[in-house]
Structure 1
């Protein structure tokens, strides 16, 4: 192929990629506009080609972009096709780790960001508390005390932090903070075992009490102390983790 032909081909590929990104954005807008719930099946390929007025290759590339980002999944077989995925902080975190790795972000920096964000979120949860959340928060704390075995206890601790984040009333802070937690705990999930977590259970109970009482300063302070203790435990058990670059997974 001549240099002119190669350049023309490359230009066409760039245009095609741009079209696919535009169509991906339009599909996302349509999903949001139509309020499609998770597990909703999108239109057939022929209907989408008609709706978006693009070539089949561009449409398929657009769907692939959304699949890679965890916004849809492709259901195989008869009656299959693109299906709306459950939006999950783990998918957001997984996408973010691609940038973390390229930028050389270390786990120490990720932890520092958590130490700033989660105490702030606990303060917001106390300031913006909804009495309807109180019983749920108390029940989650009790699950931690009642848990039998490491797996059940880890689920309870995850539920506690998820609930506090949700109570902040800020969806963006909740998503970002939870994604960072997901990324970190995937690498350091073995730091605690159930029989040595009594001080963590107590910390969760004290934080919950402060949030329910609307004591924003105490909630922030207790969450910071709790996170500091957690980070120290990680550093003791996995001393090399903090200097590692967060890798894309």
Structure 2
């Protein structure tokens, strides 16, 4: 059932919006503060336009610009219809990655630098996961013997799920978001360049080695296996697709 955010709780009046040239940005920040402080889940409809104008004491133009800012950042969507309006939506690593790729593109960040960042970050995530002695990854792994590695979609899902699960198991939501978003950007840049089909079973076997190291709490082995695993794929991309190495990250 959709939760309505149209009725404001007693004593939860919005903070006053600072006047100035960036009223819309300040208002967008205040709306986000309200979403977070009230713990409004995805699917929650925010107050109507008329109610927001009254609550925040701003002009219609500033309000609509603020809502547009939040929509562009993937925080809300405008639900159409008579009972529609601004609605909270789920924010994920892809949204963060899309925003990051814009800054990377403007800053001239190359594919090589993106790979270097992942080579530094992902082994550390595997180490942190092992220090927590997480067991959940082992049972969630794709079986190298039964996974149809020739099927690009099945193989892609299996490898993506593995890296996202390791990141989540690190126990650090900041590193999790950064690592997952870098993976999203990486996969967008390589445009579906998956490992060669004759190497895919090996990749899944390496995933198993990493998972087992994490499960037994062997941080050194987990970090080592992940670093070697990431380097293998990077070397393959570099050798087979050298045009990517110095390419500027696209904003996607």
TM-score by length of 1: 0.88
* Partner Cα distance (1:67, 1:112) in 2: 32
TM-score by length of 2: 0.87
Aligned to 2:138: 138
Question: Do residues 72 (structure 1) and 76 (structure 2) align?
Answer: yes
Cα deviation, residue 194, structure 1: 4.9
Q: Would you say the 8 A contact 1:89–1:179 is kept in 2?
A: yes
Unpaired stretches in structure 2, ≥5 consecutive residues: 1-18
Question: Do residues 113 (structure 1) and 117 (structure 2) align?
Answer: yes
Q: Pairwise CA RMSD of aligned residues?
A: 1.6
Aligned to 1:21: 25
* Partner Cα distance (2:196, 2:54) in 1: 55
Q: Would you say the 8 A contact 2:126–2:226 is kept in 1?
A: yes
4+ residue runs over 6 A deviation: none
Question: Do residues 221 (structure 1) and 224 (structure 2) align?
Answer: yes
Q: Would you say the 8 A contact 1:191–1:233 is kept in 2?
A: no
* Partner Cα distance (2:88, 2:141) in 1: 33
Aligned to 2:175: 173
**1:50 corresponds to which of 45, 51, 54:** 54
Unpaired stretches in structure 1, ≥5 consecutive residues: 1-13
**2:199 corresponds to which of 196, 200, 203:** 196
* Partner Cα distance (1:129, 1:51) in 2: 49
Q: Would you say the 8 A contact 1:124–1:168 is kept in 2?
A: yes
- Normalized per residue, which structure has more helix? 1
**1:32 corresponds to which of 29, 36, 39:** 36
* Partner Cα distance (1:157, 1:140) in 2: 11
Q: Would you say the 8 A contact 1:144–1:153 is kept in 2?
A: no
The 3-state SS of whatever aligns with 2:161 is helix
The 3-state SS of whatever aligns with 2:113 is helix
Question: Do residues 183 (structure 1) and 190 (structure 2) align?
Answer: no
* Partner Cα distance (1:140, 1:227) in 2: 20
Q: Would you say the 8 A contact 2:127–2:220 is kept in 1?
A: yes
- Aligned pair count reads 231
**2:234 corresponds to which of 231, 236, 243:** 231
